Amino acid sequence: MPVRRLVLDVDKTVGEPDLIDLALVIEAVSGVQAVNIAVTEIDIETVGTNVTVEGDAIDVEALNRAIERTGAVVHSVDEVVAGAYTLENTPRSR
């Protein structure tokens, strides 16, 4: 089953990699067609980001390795969309 979207919680140091370099490394991974990186938190040494990656068949292991090679760290996978098409999340009503 192809992975079509991942939303990752990724931390990086303030200095390296910069967001453009991180995006370029992610975009080069097999199956990745688009990447969005949004800064969520900044402290003295680290920058927290939400990284959204979309494509037809994302190589998840290669994606994790590519991110870690930059010195950034994947803290969690917050969303996965997989299957024949992209299914949007529908919030439950309570």
Contacts of 54 (CB under 8 A, 6+ apart): 4, 5, 32, 33, 34, 35, 86
18: domain CATH number?
3.30.70.1340
Identify whether 90 is part of a domain.
Answer: no
Domain carrying residue 51: 3-82
Identify whether 16 is part of a domain.
Answer: yes
- Per-residue model confidence (pLDDT) at position 16: 87
Query: How many structural domains is the chain composed of?
Result: 1
- Per-residue model confidence (pLDDT) at position 22: 97
- Per-residue model confidence (pLDDT) at position 64: 97
pTM, to two decimals:
0.90
CB-based burial label for 29 (10 Å; 0-12, 13-18, 19+): buried
pLDDT along the chain (94 residues), means of 10: 96 92 97 97 94 97 97 96 86 81
The token pair that represents 9 in the structure block: 């919680």
